């Protein structure tokens, strides 16, 4: 069964569901949140770790985020501050978050910083940390105890989950009729460090036992769609032919085999907490992952977290999760997003490095991958200025939400992302860092970084090209919206064969570059022209409001449409054919 359909079925079984509560729907191939009866994109930001640890900080931070144009803030609830004394809960910070969110027109995705945060148990209360006999730690193979609570301890789970459930009950009581809180993240960047698995006595006992039959049945049933790395490993070990194999027999005895074992039991732990959500206050839930990047091995990165290559283990063990979400701090933005934007895993980005590029990154993921969420980390540390590029982008994205959500899941949008990694004098053809060619409706659509035009001195003076990007939205065959920053787009029929000419800034051919041969004769096919290009705004109901006509110099006399690198615009272009 499709995991999203299963999730929706679980939601529908819950009694007393408030009309204000977040639900999930399938829209074409896209998974969407539904908030207040309408599809909703999280145009958000996550606070830094300590930004919500006092009421005064929450008030200052949320007012700033309102001015930045977010519609949602991702914010932690810290176990150590929530339950400073065992069994005694302090709801003051929770209430401050909800009240300040309402004051500042923000929704909340709440993060539970419980037993683990970035692998470590740093947000566990002091009473938990000091009683290591009752709440045992994970151990390395050499026997060293770690500041990581053992996922194999029932005492650890019960303590973590009791606080979690008390928090959920309070959320339902104070927010169940308002829906300020949209979703819940369980734990934060779960993963084992130093070794790929826990060597505590209870963990060893589980490792030496047979692999649970439910997992083996899931892998057999889903074998054609398993992640290639997992499928190759199972094939090489002949796992499917084994009867009641142990973990080492089924997955191998190296660190990669160990990682599958650990992932299963982390996921089972999380699933039990997800079931608490379902029984108390059934909001959508997800988990986030620290990346396996820079050539590191399991244990060098937080092993066994909800990573792309472990998705099948996590889906088998934690079916109640809406998605596995990547935290993106490394290079290779488009490659990482492709790994997580999958038919069985909608793209949800709860953390990404805060930068000037965030606006175009958001444009890319909402259009290219039908993303649910885009959220830079430490968002409150961004400039408090209307000229900050992500602030400008967020205003544009909020206006576009009705258009985007209507077209998600139907193949009507493309994301453009140009990171500008072009060396001076290098031919940009075929280099997706500065150019992307789309083929649609018999047209060839060439999209480039604005600096592939020679008109701005920064394009040729050796300056670092800024990241640029946009969303190209198909309204119908000859009608598009282009929304973003720093792009130029040219439309032509597939049958056209353009004569390549080097044009000067005035659009005229430079001397000596128009040498024709017999091969340059026109093929006779129809051409695509620009009927008009208008700069527009989007009104609250999703209709387009005309601002100005961009003709002549603004569309290079009908050759292309473009948005400069320092602009955030929405262009409405109508095309036509002629011969």
Distance from C-alpha of 122 to C-alpha of 113, rounded to nearest angstrom: 9
* Residue for token pair 């303590």: 159
Torsion angle (degrees, nearest 10) of CA 559, 565, 571, 576: 20
Taking only the tens place, the pLDDT of each residue in 527-577 is 999 999 999 999 988 899 999 999 999 999 999 999 999 899 999 999 999
Q: Which of 366, 401, 436 is the last residue in one of the domains?
A: 401
Same domain, 324 and 366: yes
- Domain membership flag for residue 371: yes
Q: Do 388 and 473 belong together in one domain?
A: no
Three-state SS string across 377-411, please? ECHHHCCCCCCCHHHHHHHHHHHHHHHHHHHCCCC
406 part of a folded domain: no
Structural tokens at position 395: 């205003």
pLDDT beyond 50 at 328: yes
Give the C-alpha separation, 532 to 549, whole Å: 7
pLDDT per position as a tens digit, 490-523: 999 987 765 555 555 555 666 655 555 545 566 6
Judgement on whether residues 330 and 424 belong to the same structural domain of the protein = no
Q: Is residue 145 part of a domain?
A: yes
User: Per the domain annotation, does 135 fall within a domain?
Assistant: yes
Within a domain: 157: yes
Report the alpha-carbon distance of residue 538 to residue 560 in Å, rounded: 22
| Structural domain contains residue 465 | yes
Q: Give the count of domains, the chain.
A: 2
* Nearest by Cα to 560 from 418, 459, 435, 441: 435
Angle ∠(119,70,569) on CA atoms, nearest 5: 125
Contact 62, 35 (CB under 8 A): no
Is the torsion defined by CA of 275, 279, 283, 284 positive or negative? positive
Structural domain containing residue 306 = 3-401
Convert the pLDDT of each residue in 459-470 to its tens digit. Answer: 888 888 999 999
Q: Are residues 355 and 467 in the same domain?
A: no
Dihedral sign (CA 540, 546, 550, 555): positive
Residues 39 and 130 in one domain: yes
> Is the pLDDT reported for residue 106 higher than 60?
yes
Whether residues 167 and 79 fall in one domain: yes
Q: Range with the lowest mean pLDDT among 289-293, 386-390, 490-494, 512-516?
A: 512-516
pLDDT at 522: 64
Which CATH number covers residue 518? Answer: 2.60.220.20
Within this chain, do residues 485 and 358 fall inside the same structural domain, yes or no? no
Same domain membership, residue 472 and residue 362: no
pLDDT of residue 511: 61
239 with 293, same domain? yes
What is the chain's mean pLDDT, rounded? 92
Asked if residue 407 is part of any domain, the answer here is: no
Closest CA to 196 of 138, 246, 117: 138
- Give DSSP secondary structure letters for 497-533: -PPP--B-TTSPBPTT-----GGGS-----EEEEEEE
């Amino acid at each position: 069964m499709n995991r999203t359909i299963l999730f929706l079925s679980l939601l529908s079984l819950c009694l007393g569901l408030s009309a204000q509560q977040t639900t999930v729907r399938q829209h074409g191939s896209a998974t969407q949140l539904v908030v207040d009866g309408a599809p909703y994109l999280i145009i958000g930001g996550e606070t830094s770790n300590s930004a919500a640890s006092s009421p005064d900080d929450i008030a200052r931070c949320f007012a700033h985020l309102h001015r930045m144009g977010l519609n949602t803030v991702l914010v932690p609830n810290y176990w150590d501050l929530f339950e400073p004394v065992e069994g005694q809960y302090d709801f003051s910070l929770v209430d401050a978050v909800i009240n300040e969110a309402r004051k500042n027109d923000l929704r909340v995705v709440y993060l539970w910083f419980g037993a683990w945060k970035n692998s470590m148990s740093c947000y566990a209360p002091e009473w938990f940390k000091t009683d290591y006999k009752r709440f045992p730690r994970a151990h390395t193979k050499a026997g060293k105890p770690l500041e990581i609570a053992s996922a194999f301890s029932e005492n650890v789970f019960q303590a973590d989950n009791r606080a979690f459930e008390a928090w959920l009950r309070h959320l339902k009581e104070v927010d169940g009729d308002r829906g300020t809180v949209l979703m819940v993240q369980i734990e934060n960047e779960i993963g084992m460090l130093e070794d790929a698995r826990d060597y505590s006595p209870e963990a060893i006992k589980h490792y030496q036992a047979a692999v649970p039959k439910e997992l083996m049945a899931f892998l057999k049933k889903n074998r054609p769609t398993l992640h290639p790395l997992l499928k190759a490993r199972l094939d090489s070990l002949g796992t499917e032919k084994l009867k009641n194999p142990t973990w080492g027999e089924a997955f191998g005895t190296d660190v990669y085999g160990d990682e599958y074992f650990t992932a299963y039991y982390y996921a089972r732990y999380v699933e039990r907490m997800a079931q608490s959500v379902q029984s108390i206050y059934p909001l959508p839930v997800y988990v986030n992952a620290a990346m396996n990047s820079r050539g590191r091995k399991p244990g060098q990165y937080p092993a066994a977290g909800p990573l792309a290559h472990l998705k099948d283990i996590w889906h088998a063990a934690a079916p109640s999760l809406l998605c596995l979400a990547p935290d993106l701090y490394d290079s290779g933005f488009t490659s990482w997003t492709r790994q997580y934007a999958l038919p069985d895993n909608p793209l949800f980005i709860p953390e990404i490095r805060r930068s000037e590029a965030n606006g175009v990154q958001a444009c890319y993921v909402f259009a290219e991958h039908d993303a649910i969420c885009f959220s830079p980390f430490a968002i409150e540390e961004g400039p408090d200025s209307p000229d900050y590029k992500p602030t400008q982008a967020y205003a544009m994205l909020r206006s576009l939400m009705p258009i985007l959500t209507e077209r998600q899941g139907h193949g009507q949008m493309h994301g453009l992302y140009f990171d500008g990694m072009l060396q001076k004098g290098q031919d940009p053809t075929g280099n997706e860092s500065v150019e992307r060619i789309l083929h649609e409706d018999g047209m060839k659509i060439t999209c480039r970084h604005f600096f592939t035009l020679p008109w701005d001195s920064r394009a040729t003076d050796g300056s670092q090209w800024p990241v640029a990007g946009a969303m190209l939205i198909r309204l119908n065959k000859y009608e598009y919206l282009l929304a973003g920053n720093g792009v130029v787009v040219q439309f032509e029929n597939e049958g056209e064969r353009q004569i390549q000419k080097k044009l000067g800034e005035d659009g005229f051919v430079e001397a000596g570059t128009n040498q024709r041969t017999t091969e340059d004769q026109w093929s006779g096919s129809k051409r695509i022209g620009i009927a008009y290009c208008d700069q527009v705004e989007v009104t609250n109901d999703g209709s387009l409001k005309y601002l100005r006509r961009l003709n002549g110099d603004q569309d290079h006399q009908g050759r292309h449409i473009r948005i400069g690198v320092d602009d955030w615009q929405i262009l409405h272009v109508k095309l036509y054919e002629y011969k």
